[in-house]
Structure 1
Amino acid sequence: MVLDTDAAYLALKARDARFDGRLFVGVTSTGIYCRPVCRVRTPRRENCRFFGSRAQAEAAAFRPCMKCRPEIAPGLSLMDSSRSLADSAARLIEDAVHSGQALPLPRLAARLGVTDRHLRRIFQAAHGVGPLAYLGTQRLLLAKQLLTDTELPVTQVALASGFASLRRFNAAFAEHYRFSPSRLRHEGSNHAPATRSEGLRLAWRPPCDVEALLGHFARRQLQGVEEVDGLVLRRTLSWPHQGRRLQGWLSVRFVPERHELVLSTSPSLVPVLGALMQRVRQTFDLDADPARIDPVMALLPLPLRPGARLPGAMDGFEAAVRIVLGQQVTVKAARTLTQRLVDRLGTPLETPFPALHRLFPDAPTLAAADPEVLGQLGIVRQRVKALQALATAVASGAIELHRGAPLQATLDALRALPGIGDWTAQLIALRALAWPDAWPASDIGLMNALGSRDPKHITALAEPWRPWRAYAVMRLWHHVETLEAPR
């Protein structure tokens, strides 16, 4: 929802980063649209048109600014507004574009349980453009970022952005931006000469509690798989692509003064850069809106730390395995069990970083493992059954563990597996599905923080924290982290 025009202009003049990704300004004298944080001279009020999305601005024939780069602005979180169905459709479109997948409107509507016509109507009302126009904007903005931040050949950028041919790609650019992709790459380099060597830039809305976020990953890091070094997190990763799995590494560097992080990857993962960008946004909760979340976190019986974020997962299956191994044990004990699993079943990988040399075992590997071997690692029989049932379901495609998976159906499928109860399912929803209202009521850490052993009582206490209870979980855990409460 766009602010009234006077308030929007004030936000633009103040370069207020709280509105980044929620407000865009089209300047009629230049035909360009910008983020509210753009550092160029503030345009005259009568030359400004305000939009609630990039797609609206582009539908009005404005081109994206080369300096502030609207394509790196924060996007939508799972609880952005009451128009949740339209926002779910927008997220699914964005994920499909970045993953290089086709998502025809009938399939999108069926996935959301509505008709094509109803989806078009609510989408137009919520976002100001139809779903096909939104899809086109997302493809062009992904292409613009890849052209600006990478050295990928133009043909490869076209394919990675979902265009069937270079001819269609060039035609779309000429129609929407009025110049060719090669010219955009040249002009983008002139505006930001250091960007391409730096990596892919992704922005967040301030404030962001970077210390707590990276601290969560640092306390759980696995040797060989991941490393937290100051404001940098590096890890190994395998990713599905065209019937095979690509293997490599990625590095994320936080730049708090710019409200951005910078993503770089091994050359082997370049074909899936779009999908990795989306997963990084989820893993570090870059699309969160602190202006909505922090007032609710102020209701907790704790000192307020502004900018709470949900630590997600680059690999949903890996997160689920860690959560199962964390049943009824401390963070330290869970990390020890998981490390043994990685050392025994993880695939060796060469990287330029001495700390990174092994991949986390994937679902087919864990499903096919000898249960006796898993038992020798110190994993009790009940959890071995749970791990292998989970791995089998994920490997077969019966369960998907990512932001676009249907919440209730996935929770039901998880609870139907042996050894997986509501605590485990809720934490998987928090970490892998990015569900901001997840609430593991039987968690001992929450009970310790809230001074009660009654799950019904602490659930009642958490009622005022809806729909952000998962953020409350992270805040309460952070508060008791030094006690190594069971997770």
Structure 2
Amino acid sequence: MNNKAENRRTALQPENAVHPEQARGQQYYKALCARDRRFDGVFFTGVLTTGIYCRPVCGVKTPRAASCRFFHSAAAAEHAGFRPCLRCRPELAPYALQQNLAHRIWHQIAEGALNQQSLEAYAAKAGLSSRQIRRVLLQEFGVSPVELAQTQRLLFAKKLLQETAMPVTDIAFAAGFGSLRRLNALFAERYQMTPGSVRRARQHHPESIVLRLAYRPPYDWEAVIRYLAFRAIPGVETVTVSGTDSAYRRTVSLSGHQGSICVKHDAAKSQLILEVTNTLTPVLFPLMARVREQFDLEASPLQIADNLGNDPLIAPLVSAHPGWRVPGAFDHFELAVRAVLGQQISVAGATTIAGRLVQRFGTALDQQKTQFLFPSPQTISAASVSDIAALGMPGKRAQTLIALAQFASHGGLVRKPGDTLEICAARLCELPGIGPWTAHYVAMRALRFTDAFPEGDLGLQKSLATLKQAAGAELPVLKCSAAETLAAAEQWRPWRAYAAMLLWQFG
């Protein structure tokens, strides 16, 4: 280990590391000894005797408590001079699902927000000052924004080196480095090794790249895949529901690059397998983040279940369906359009109209015109009301889609770190034809607010009435009112979105 790393390690500040003698450190050490998957991604363990940091699920021999230092992020561990473990691979760890400002900034930078723009440019878009962002990250994680971004780039490059046969130069650019020289320099500085030394022999797929995405078990893959299958947009998404062979496929357009992806499940390793066409190599960093969001891989299912299980009304559903998730959206605009199309009609009807929208305004990826890219906000903005209405919807709904497209074109569907659920829902409700139900549905699945809750949804109201009747309540009607549904949901905060999905799927 170099002197710089040694100095950093011996000068650890309390806010950067959690020591074993502290209460939380004791909890983390117990989780480490038990290899508790609930804490995977919540903390990392730096081992003084080896200079390596690991995930709490690492299979190596458990170190003595006195040799451990605990960190809330990989960046903080690397800032203190520790190198990532080559066995448990910290880059596989799911992120901690948190809702405070510091964690939201952390998520966006970890997902590549600084790869194509400066900190000042990102801060301006986020509605914050660069000084405020530095202060928040230093207070919460003990690292600067640049250090966080560099750590995530290095870990992603390490992931590509170990899981793909991509040339190292391509890996450097895909991970957000400006040059191969910069990747080599940071590898030498942080890891005391070359990129080639961590490369593993992999079968070369000439037309695709295969990556692995870890999650905290349990994970109800079948429930997620069935939910997505019922809502798959013809021409854009194809979902196969067939036990261990279940798969989700879709077309992708990201930052000017087009291709397709396929997602499958590896239950034995608690991972999803992501196959990506080579045409999407330059955008692997943000693409992987979108897939993690769509399949809700950052969730802590046992923590959510513990919280919701405290309510006797919903507890039977919680215990009967471990590992359920709130499926997200690969593309925010696409999901918002689906939400608008689904207003006052069946899911099947909305799917049919979405398919017509794709056929009329989407871009075909093959000569047979079986695969399409979902139309962009700019394309829908330029369409006429009559052309959209001709697909089988009222003129007012067509106007709503155009207004939504204009809203999205100006960044309206991008969640800023300081945005609250109330702020985002209010913005959406300002659009003609969008009410609380649509706003909260978009907030749940696209903007990823864990506490979003469309209390006016008829399905939720009926499911809640069924639960109350099963608990012995005598109800004169077959559904609860919106006010009754909202009152019952107070006990489910801050996980009301998960409760809603549980009621929709299993209630």
Bucket of the pairwise TM-score, normalised by the shorter protein: 0.7 to 0.9
Secondary structure at 1:262 match in 2: strand
Q: After superposition, where does 1:298-447 map in structure 2 within 5 Å?
A: 298=309, 299=311, 300-301=313-314, 302-304=316-318, 305-350=321-366, 357-395=371-409, 397-401=410-414, 406-407=419-420, 408-447=422-461
Q: 1:476 to 1:195 in 2, by over 3 A?
A: farther
Q: 1:267 to 1:462 in 2, by over 3 A?
A: same
Could you give the per-residue CA deviations for residues 405-432 of structure 1, whole angstroms, max 9, x where no partner exists? 9445543332221111111111111111
Instruction: Tell me which moved more, 385-394 or 298-307.
Output: 298-307
Contact 2:54 2:90 in 1 (8 A): yes
CA distance in 1, matches of 2:370, 2:227: 19
Secondary structure at 1:122 match in 2: helix
Contact 2:45 2:69 in 1 (8 A): yes
Q: 2:111 aligns with which of 92, 95, 114?
A: 95
Secondary structure at 2:317 match in 1: coil
Contact 2:127 2:418 in 1 (8 A): no
Contact 1:209 1:306 in 2 (8 A): yes
Could you give the per-residue CA deviations for residues 34-56 of structure 1, whole angstroms, max 9, x where no partner exists? 11222234345444333222112
Tell me whether 1:160 sits opposite 2:174 in the alignment: yes
The runs of 5 or more residues in structure 2 that have no matched partner are 1-16, 466-478
Tell me whether 1:212 sits opposite 2:223 in the alignment: yes
Tell me whether 1:232 sits opposite 2:247 in the alignment: yes
CA distance in 2, matches of 1:5, 1:405: 30
TM-score of the pair, normalised by structure 1: 0.87
Q: 1:297 aligns with which of 308, 318, 323?
A: 308
Instruction: Tell me which moved more, 114-123 or 418-427.
Output: 114-123
Shift of 1:69: 0.9
- Counterpart amino acid of residue 238 in structure 1: S
CA distance in 1, matches of 2:77, 2:98: 23
TM-score of the pair, normalised by structure 2: 0.84
Secondary structure at 2:249 match in 1: strand
CA distance in 2, matches of 1:294, 1:360: 35
Tell me whether 1:23 sits opposite 2:36 in the alignment: no
The runs of 5 or more residues in structure 1 that have no matched partner are 481-487
Contact 1:222 1:339 in 2 (8 A): yes
Hey, what does 1:181 align to over in structure 2?
195
CA distance in 2, matches of 1:195, 1:123: 39
Could you give the per-residue CA deviations for residues 198-246 of structure 1, whole angstroms, max 9, x where no partner exists? 7211111112222221111011113322122233211111112xxxx22
CA distance in 1, matches of 2:481, 2:402: 31
Shift of 1:247: 1.6
Hey, what does 1:483 align to over in structure 2?
none
- Amino-acid identity (%): 44
Shift of 1:319: 0.3
Instruction: Tell me which moved more, 292-301 or 140-149.
Output: 292-301
Could you give the per-residue CA deviations for residues 296-332 of structure 1, whole angstroms, max 9, x where no partner exists? 3322435222223111100111000000000011212
Alignment size in residue pairs: 462
Tell me whether 1:40 sits opposite 2:42 in the alignment: no
Contact 1:237 1:359 in 2 (8 A): yes
Q: 1:308 to 1:297 in 2, by over 3 A?
A: farther
Give the root-mean-square deviation of aligned CA atoms.
2.6
